[in-house]
Amino acid sequence: MTKTIHQLGHNSTWNIQAHDEDGVGDGFIISPMHLGKSKLADWPVERRRRSFFDPQFVIPGDAKKNLASYEFHPGAGGDDFATQSYPQSAALPNASSCVAFQVQNDFRALVIPSRHLDVPIEDYIRQQHSLFVTPFLTAIKKSKSKKQIFLQVFLTNRMVEEVAYRDSLITWLSSLEEIDGVYLVPSYKERSGKHITSPAYIVGVMELLYKLKQNQILTVVGYTNVEGVLYSCAGADWVGMGSYENTRIFNIANFADAEGGPQQGPRPRIYAPILFQWIDYRYREPIVNANKGWVFADNRYKVLLWQLPTGKWNFQRSELYKHYFVEYTRQLQRLGGVDESTRVKSLYSELDNARSEFDRLESAGVILDSNSGGGHIPFWMTALAEFARARGWSWR
Amino acid sequence: MKFESEEALKDHFTHEGVLHKILPFRRWQRWELTELQGFFGVPDYVVAYHRQSPDGNVLLRSVAVEFKLSNWRRALEQAYRYSLFADYAYVVMDAAYVARVKRNLSIFKRANVGLVCAAAEGSAEVFHRPRLSPFRNSDLGEEFRDFLTARVAEDRVYAA
């Protein structure tokens, strides 16, 4: 069964509270950019043992925010090398330091980081091997740690959509006998809204997940939004579950050390699990007035939110995200516990029902915009059907 | 003849006074605003019609408008947002594309969004008049009404 795991970011307290008080989420993925080394040191041992640590070597030359407090991060020492380069001479020392840190903190597993690269497969494998895989495996062997080892992979569009590239990637990953799992981070370009709407990309990720599972490689899919339900049908072991949108949608720009002015906070949105959609809070009243308030599902956080006057809603209300953590985890639990082919049929049926509910909302006079209106649902149904068809499964 | 641009459509409707001739507020005073931000979406045009009642109260009715040449669906989504805080919301479109939008008139009616089609030659036809918005007493509607009331009062139209 696919489990949710908290993808930590700016307000990790909410994730921790949801984990401890509501029992949702099978641990954490730590973001050192948001949690400095001294604060992490205050964490209880039990919480660290349930956590993956993401070293975030995404852009090696940039140590943004709290990343600079981790001396093993390539950008922390103020080394004067270009953002896009990462000298071989730094690879083993950084790897040794990073592994020592992970071992010392007794994290759930050891994570080998990766750079975000969009290059031909031969170059990709060569660079990852020389800069990360070999140095880190060397350091791990020296540490004598018995922890499981996960390799991070940023999934660009071509890695996933080009069959030859994807097959080469699977071949390479399954050839690494020391690796127990992969920590995948979908990095989908051409996103026009809040969801991935390319069936080719979604099917590509699902194919990757399914084949890795066949090779008995564990999979964590990070920075996922609601599309995690699709990945569960391909056998993902964990899917990330974040609060703010930047923990549910990967954007490399968030790791660049660029100057920027103050940004306006987003409008608060509330998750409607029946619709597989986060909905702008300003549509809440017309939806409720149309006797469709049940689409938001009931838990104690919805009760708290419904008591608030509209003027008190803002994107920093923890109830919005805790409500989502509970409902999203429930969705995956409902889908889980059966084999993937049964899961596909169940999810297809639920997506079809969501599409009908959006139609019924419109018939009731509620006109939702493209960011709240479920435009992604038909694409997800197409992707699910294509994935099922490829393995001779039925989906209706 | 079609409008050359949305701006031309908007100018025709506002500066030529076409909108005010088709709404039932001809004897009311009005306070107008374009590209209003801060509520839900950015209406192309907002007008607050106001007058003093016999008992001295200030009556106020707000109308928010979205102008679009032909993309009726996008216009409807935007205007629906305005209906969540304004008393009335309208879509105004180029009459050259009326056939397509008329086939979907029932959606406008269910959404309580008004529909007007204007021709460059000067005529305008109202296909649907919305009823007073049921959301005017919501938090967003009240906030908007307070905003307009304050702006109208600033004009010092009504003696204390």
CB contact under 8 Å between B110 and A311, yes or no, is: no
Tokens in use for A274?
């029946």
Cβ-based neighbours of A269, under 8 Å, separated by 6 or more? A278, A279, A280, A281, A315, A320, A372
CB contact under 8 Å between A311 and B139, yes or no, is: yes
Integer CA distances (angstroms), B20 to A384, B24, B76, B157, in order: 52, 8, 21, 19
Residue A81 is predicted with a pLDDT of 46
Contact A369/B at CB under 8 A:
yes
Confidence of residue B157 (pLDDT cuts 50, 70, 90): low
Strand partners, A181: A150, A218
Question: Each residue of A229-280: pLDDT tens digit?
Answer: 999 999 999 999 999 988 999 988 888 765 554 556 788 999 999 999 999 9
Q: Which strand ranges, in their side-by-side order, compose the sheet holding A181-186?
A: A51-53, A28-30, A3-7, A238-241, A218-221, A181-186, A148-155, A109-112
The strand ranges marked E within chain A are: 3-7, 28-30, 51-53, 109-112, 148-155, 181-186, 218-221, 238-241, 269-272, 277-280
A-chain CB neighbours of B140 within 8 Å are 282, 310
Confidence of residue A82 (pLDDT cuts 50, 70, 90): very low
CB contact under 8 Å between B138 and A370, yes or no, is: no
Q: How far apart are the first and last CA of chain A?
A: 21
Neighbours of A215 (CB within 10 A): 12
Question: Each residue of B6-61: pLDDT tens digit?
Answer: 999 988 888 767 788 888 888 898 888 888 888 999 999 999 999 888 888 888 99
Residue with tokens 């070999």: A134
Question: Each residue of A31-56: pLDDT tens digit?
Answer: 999 999 999 999 999 999 999 999 99
Residue A258 is predicted with a pLDDT of 56
Name the closest residue on chain A to residue B140, using Cα atoms. Answer: A310
Inform me whether the pLDDT recorded for A386 exceeds 50: yes
The strand ranges marked E within A116-267 are: 148-155, 181-186, 218-221, 238-241
Residue B83 is predicted with a pLDDT of 96
Confidence of residue B160 (pLDDT cuts 50, 70, 90): very low
Shortest alpha-carbon distance between residue A364 and chain B (Å): 7
Residue A27 is predicted with a pLDDT of 97
Question: Each residue of B82-141: pLDDT tens digit?
Answer: 999 999 999 999 999 989 899 999 999 999 999 999 988 878 899 999 999 888 778 889
Integer CA distances (angstroms), A312 to A269, A315, B52, B105, B132, in order: 13, 10, 33, 36, 26
Inter-chain Cβ pairs, chain A and chain B, closer than 8 A: 37
Nearest Cβ partner for A367 among B80, B135, B139: B80
Task: Identify residues of B whose CB sits under 8 angstroms from chain A CBs.
Answer: 40, 76-78, 80-81, 84, 107, 110-113, 134-135, 138-140, 143
Tokens in use for A256?
């660049």
Shortest alpha-carbon distance between residue B55 and chain A (Å): 32
Local structure of residue A224 (DSSP, 8 states): -
Specify the amino acid at residue B7: E
Cβ-based neighbours of A89, under 8 Å, separated by 6 or more? none
Neighbours of A298 (CB within 10 A): 12
From the number of C-beta atoms within 10 Å of its C-beta (0-12, 13-18, 19+), residue A328 rates as buried
Beta strands A148-155; A181-186: pairing state:
parallel
pTM of the model: 0.92
Residue A205 is predicted with a pLDDT of 97
The enclosing H or E element of A169 equals helix A163-175
Beta strands A269-272; A28-30: pairing state:
unpaired
Output the CA torsion sign for A132, A134, A138, A141.
positive
What is the C-alpha to C-alpha distance for residues A41 and A218, in angstroms, rounded to an integer? 28
